Structure 1
Amino acid sequence: MPRRLLGIIAAAFLGAATVTATAGTATAAAAPAPPITAVDFTGIVALSNCSGSLVRTPTAADTDPALVLTNGHCYEGGEPAAGQVITNRASSRSFSLLDPTGRRTLGTLRASTMLYATMTDTDVALYRLNTTYARIQQTYGTPALRLSLQHPTAGTDIRVVSGYWRRIYSCRLDGFAYRLRESQWTWKDSLRYTSECQVIGGTSGSPVIDAASGQVVGANNTINEDGGRCTLNNPCEVDQSGAVTVRPNIGYAQETYILAACIAPGSVLDYGRSGCLVPRPAASAARGARR
């Protein structure tokens, strides 16, 4: 996980089916769902050390500031400690927006705010950009990926799309880890891949995409590299009775519907929204406890 960010020097670049993106008319209303096509690099971004994706909720308006999703451990300020939630930090982080084939960079997107980052219960970071969905569509012909608001289903055919390596992994959701422990961090209800998704360093933050719906259901974050037990880069599963299982060379991701539910109009976070299950920053948690 964290030490896997720089990746391995050599990686194969895989081609993907090319689709032609068309610019739509910007409106204040939520855009209709795009037609389902083969998963490619549309909406995928590369970070300096990780992967990520341009995302929106089903009800987002075209005029809302655009959002980029990646892992919490990809945060430029360093890995959040266990129990730490970081919110609303000014950021000028840049993201390279890829074309549908993954062979070209269309342009650079830039953050204005790091909205949310944590490695507690989950491993996610969400950035608000200094431009809107409409402007990105008009400039690059690129729509954002849709965030699912539903818990994913075991057996789902998925794609893990890495902007850093410009590579697509194909496998299925094997199931869910009640708790996934790696070094000081513990994550809840993590997605477990089948063995075909042999993710590597630099794939951290890649969206996990439901191949049938085209929606984002998770953020790729780790794999057990050496068969180690609950150590850095060697996560282990812990069941409800406390029993530990080690699955060498099996990768994992963190569910994103629990964060997607928190996104309110205007691309802000509202922890009081129904279905918002991510850990809250200390001040928000204290206010909630007083209600």
Structure 2
Amino acid sequence: MNRPLVGTLATAVLGAAALVGTVGTAQAAPGAAASHHGQHKTKAVDFAGTVALSNCSGSVVRMPTSQANDPALVMSNGHCLESGMPGAGEVIVDQPSSRRFTLLDKSARGVGTIRATKVAYATMTDTDVTIYQTGSTYAQIEQKYGIKPLELATEHPAKGAGISVVSGYWKKIYTCSIDGFVPTLKEGDWTWKDSVRYTPECKTIGGTSGSPVVDTTTGKVAAINNTGNEDGEKCTVNNPCEVDENGNVTVHQGTNYAEETYGIPKCFGAGNKLDLSAAGCALPKPAGVRR
């Protein structure tokens, strides 16, 4: 997985962040992404609404049905959870949290801090996501900072779609397209389903975990960045392997991946309240909850 950065490593890495921005992957200026949809115009993608965590990236997100006075939600990876990575099969809901997030404007400037009140949902089973509920409403954030949330798409992403992976931690945008989809992606004890595979231009690194993957045609969040095969190993931590419908296992060193998010809105109802029993909600449920 795109490893969360911790302790002294994070301090050292952040100190070198200014150097990294010009090395390796292409850093897209707003609007610089080329269209992968031919006739479709691309939307300028910037940092507004993204956040930096202590060890990962994330974003303030809204559901299509979210209202201005609903508590704002912040999305990052399950493996970025401050209490530790959820085990295989583990689902966490309504866990108290006071985690802080640095909110960024379109130029990646930190404009303020918002704080979680709880982990609404977190898992590393089938997907790799943590959704925090914050103590601020969308309206309060917009009024105070002039920042609007990113909206989660509700349709399955398309092969070939142009995407931008926006890392609030690194203040860096990776631009590529969706190379295809992986029926099963295995890494260590964890298994993810229908994962997004990037084209080679998106060379994401540790600290980009939790970055929103923005469709450059719609401007909506299509997925959440989470992992890549670093060393060419097979199905080990930081070295995910692909498993096709027939069970064939392949390894693609240097290839990076994301987990789709289009199904998440079906699991949140009025007031941005989690409802895992809602019609169409396919997120894994905690043990003992009726499916």
Whether TM exceeds 0.5 here: the answer is yes
5 Å matches for 1:147-186?
A: 147-186=152-191
Select between 46-55 and 238-247 the one with higher mean Cα deviation.
238-247
1:47 aligned onto 2:62: no
Given residue 276 of structure 1, which amino acid in structure 2 is its aligned partner? C
1:56 aligned onto 2:62: yes
Please say if residues 3 and 209 of structure 2, whose CA atoms lie closer than 8 Å, have aligned partners that are also in contact.
no
Select between 262-271 and 86-95 the one with higher mean Cα deviation.
262-271
Residues of 1 paired with 2:265 and 2:145: CA distance?
Answer: 24
TM-score (structure 2 length as normaliser): 0.88
Aligned-pair Cα RMSD in Å: 1.6
Residues of 2 paired with 1:80 and 1:270: CA distance?
Answer: 20
Please say if residues 182 and 230 of structure 1, whose CA atoms lie closer than 8 Å, have aligned partners that are also in contact.
yes
5 Å matches for 1:139-288?
A: 139-285=144-290, 288=291
Given residue 143 of structure 1, which amino acid in structure 2 is its aligned partner? K
Q: Match of 1:134, SS?
A: helix
Flag the 1:186–1:15 CA change in 2: closer, same or farther, 3 A: closer
Deviation at 1:258, TM superposition (A): 1.9
1:73 aligned onto 2:79: yes
Residues of 1 paired with 2:164 and 2:230: CA distance?
Answer: 20
Given residue 272 of structure 2, which amino acid in structure 1 is its aligned partner? S
**Alignment partner of 1:106 out of 84, 96, 111:** 111
Residues of 2 paired with 1:87 and 1:164: CA distance?
Answer: 25
Residues of 2 paired with 1:17 and 1:157: CA distance?
Answer: 14
Select between 155-164 and 275-284 the one with higher mean Cα deviation.
275-284
Q: Match of 2:142, SS?
A: helix
Given residue 51 of structure 1, which amino acid in structure 2 is its aligned partner? S
- Specify every segment of 5 or more residues in structure 2 that has no aligned partner in the other structure, as ranges: 22-26, 32-41
Residues of 2 paired with 1:51 and 1:3: CA distance?
Answer: 11
**Alignment partner of 2:29 out of 2, 8, 16:** 16
Residues of 1 paired with 2:262 and 2:28: CA distance?
Answer: 29
Deviation at 1:192, TM superposition (A): 0.4
Given residue 101 of structure 2, which amino acid in structure 1 is its aligned partner? F
Please say if residues 4 and 200 of structure 1, whose CA atoms lie closer than 8 Å, have aligned partners that are also in contact.
no
Q: Match of 1:170, SS?
A: strand
Residues of 2 paired with 1:164 and 1:248: CA distance?
Answer: 24
Residues of 2 paired with 1:111 and 1:222: CA distance?
Answer: 24
Deviation at 1:273, TM superposition (A): 2.2
Runs of 4+ off more than 4 Å: none
Number of positions where the alignment pairs a residue of Structure 1 with one of Structure 2: 268
Q: Percent identity?
A: 54
Residues of 2 paired with 1:215 and 1:3: CA distance?
Answer: 25
Residues of 2 paired with 1:202 and 1:215: CA distance?
Answer: 22
Select between 123-132 and 266-275 the one with higher mean Cα deviation.
266-275
Residues of 1 paired with 2:170 and 2:218: CA distance?
Answer: 24
Select between 171-180 and 260-269 the one with higher mean Cα deviation.
260-269
Flag the 1:2–1:16 CA change in 2: closer, same or farther, 3 A: closer
Residues of 2 paired with 1:4 and 1:55: CA distance?
Answer: 20
Deviation at 1:37, TM superposition (A): 4.1
Given residue 257 of structure 1, which amino acid in structure 2 is its aligned partner? Y
**Alignment partner of 2:44 out of 22, 38, 47:** 38
Q: Quote the residue 1:94 is aligned against.
A: 100
Residues of 2 paired with 1:167 and 1:83: CA distance?
Answer: 32
TM-score (structure 1 length as normaliser): 0.88
Deviation at 1:100, TM superposition (A): 0.5
Q: Match of 2:203, SS?
A: coil
Deviation at 1:274, TM superposition (A): 3.0
Q: Match of 1:55, SS?
A: strand
